[in-house]
């Protein structure tokens, strides 16, 4: 195998495949590699898989000798990223892959191509159009609250569905829930929905971010495969074969105890409170609410106490409630508005959080138990 290619083309072609190889050594060492294939038509493809997520990226090159090579994906990607020239020469001789660019030369150990897993991808006509910016936003606003509890695999992914030109993503770990919803244009429809594992959802978002005006989506039901395509890159993900819980029943329908908070001052106040508990994973903040006033308290037995007071718009009962500070801050990063609303059902009930200006994002956050000191 021997070909010459522009650095930007091979660097872009490697970006998603090399990421798929991350964390695969415990599954099978061969999965740490990418398979590079050059054909007589002048197309180079780079494939990778972790057995759950698979990707193939194709780009044009000047192919002198067609063939293939299997090399460590992460190492190959890092080498390409460091090159300073515009044209890269790739050549395989026996069990070595030679990489040349201007005055730089590298020699990588190549592995047996026969050991690389066989991967199949959906045909071109399987894909239907979808908006990449919508897919990226949906995942961005929900992936943070995916569960990491492997005893609950049905919660270890993002639930994605779209029908009647409305697309929706939902995730929950039992402590918080996030839901994002957007109108979209395109032919793809998936009314029953699928659960996309967190790693796969992250790769789909990265792929969507490379798109301009359109991407293709497909669902192969008999193989339980969800697929996305942008340009020359196709990604497939094995969905979680389980039923997602009835999330709508978890979202409160509160209409009272409405709190409207300016976002930036509130975020800065939280950061100041967090100084005393920095480094603690389960630090909490206590809210004390009375008409048009919010007091926030933080306590650390070793460092001391903090208190912040804000003028807010609040109509409702006097309530004292506590939240996990990290979870609350993560939700606030998804608010695209200068103000947000919290509806409270009481000191032991879940809070409903959403932007003032739009309805594209809703979050539910369970409170912490307040103990007397």
For residues 98-110, average pLDDT: 96
Q: What is the per-residue pLDDT for 280?
A: 63
Paired with 170 in beta bridges are 159, 179
All domains in the chain, ordered by first residue:
2-115 (3.10.150.10), 124-248 (3.10.150.10), 251-365 (3.10.150.10)
CA 105 – CA 83 distance, rounded (Å): 10
Band (pLDDT 50/70/90 cuts) for residue 305 is confident
pTM value is 0.92
For residues 343-360, average pLDDT: 93
The string over 232-269, giving b where at least 16 C-beta atoms fall within 10 Å of a residue's C-beta and e elsewhere, is bbbbbbbbbeeebbebeeeeeebeebebebbbeebeeb
CB 286 within 8 A of CB 296: yes
Pairing of strands 96-101, 87-93: antiparallel
For residues 324-349, average pLDDT: 94
Residue 279 predicted with pLDDT over 80: no
The packing angle between helices 263-274 and 325-332, to 10°, is 150
The string over 341-361, giving b where at least 16 C-beta atoms fall within 10 Å of a residue's C-beta and e elsewhere, is bbbbbebebbbbbbbeeeebb
SS3 337: coil
* Residue among 146, 188, 144, 145 nearest 166 (CA): 188
Q: What is the per-residue pLDDT for 278?
A: 66
Q: Over the stretch 118-156, which tens digit does the pLDDT of each residue have?
A: 999 999 999 999 999 999 999 999 999 999 999 999 999
Range scoring the smallest mean pLDDT among 227-241, 270-284, 328-342 = 270-284
Q: What is the per-residue pLDDT for 113?
A: 96
Give percent above pLDDT 90 in the chain. 87
Q: Is 152 exposed, middle or buried (0-12, 13-18, 19+ CB in 10 A)?
A: middle
Cα–Cα separations (whole angstroms), residue 26 to 23, 31, 32, 43, 137 = 7, 9, 10, 32, 32
The rounded mean pLDDT for the chain is 94
CA 192 – CA 94 distance, rounded (Å): 50
């Amino acid at each position: 195998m021997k070909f010459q290619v522009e650095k930007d083309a091979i660097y872009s072609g490697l970006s998603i495949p090399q990421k798929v190889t991350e964390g695969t050594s415990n599954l099978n060492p061969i999965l740490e590699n990418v398979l590079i294939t050059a054909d007589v038509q002048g197309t180079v493809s780079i494939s990778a898989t972790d057995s759950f997520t698979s990707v193939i990226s194709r780009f044009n090159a000047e192919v002198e000798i067609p063939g293939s090579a299997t090399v460590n994906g992460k190492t190959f990607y890092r080498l390409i990223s460091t090159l300073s020239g515009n044209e890269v020469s790739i050549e395989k001789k026996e069990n070595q892959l030679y990489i040349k660019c201007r005055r730089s030369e590298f020699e990588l150990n190549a592995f047996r191509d026969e050991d690389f897993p066989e991967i199949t991808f959906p045909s071109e006509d399987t894909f239907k159009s979808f908006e990449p910016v919508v897919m990226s936003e949906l995942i961005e606003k929900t992936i943070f609250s995916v569960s990491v509890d492997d005893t609950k695999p049905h919660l270890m992914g993002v639930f994605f569905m779209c029908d009647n030109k409305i697309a929706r993503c939902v995730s929950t770990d039992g402590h918080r829930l996030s839901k994002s919803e957007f109108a979209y244009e395109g032919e793809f429809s998936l009314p029953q929905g699928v659960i996309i594992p967190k790693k796969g959802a992250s790769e789909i978002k990265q792929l969507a971010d490379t798109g301009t005006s359109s991407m293709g989506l497909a669902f192969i039901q008999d193989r339980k495969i969800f697929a996305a395509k942008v340009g020359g890159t196709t990604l497939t993900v094995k969905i979680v074969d389980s039923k997602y819980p009835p999330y709508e029943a978890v979202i409160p329908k509160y209409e009272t105890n409405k709190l409207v908070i300016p976002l930036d001052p509130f975020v800065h106040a939280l950061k100041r409170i967090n100084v005393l508990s920095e480094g603690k994973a389960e630090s909490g903040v206590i809210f004390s609410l009375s008409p048009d006033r919010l007091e926030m308290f933080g306590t650390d037995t070793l460092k001391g106490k903090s208190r912040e007071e804000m003028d807010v718009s609040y109509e409702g009962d006097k309530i004292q409630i506590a939240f996990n500070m990290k979870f609350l801050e993560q939700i606030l990063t998804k608010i695209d508005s200068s103000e947000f609303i919290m509806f409270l059902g009481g000191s032991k009930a879940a809070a409903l959080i959403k932007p003032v200006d739009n309805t594209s994002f809703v979050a539910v956050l369970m409170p912490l138990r307040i103990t007397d000191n």
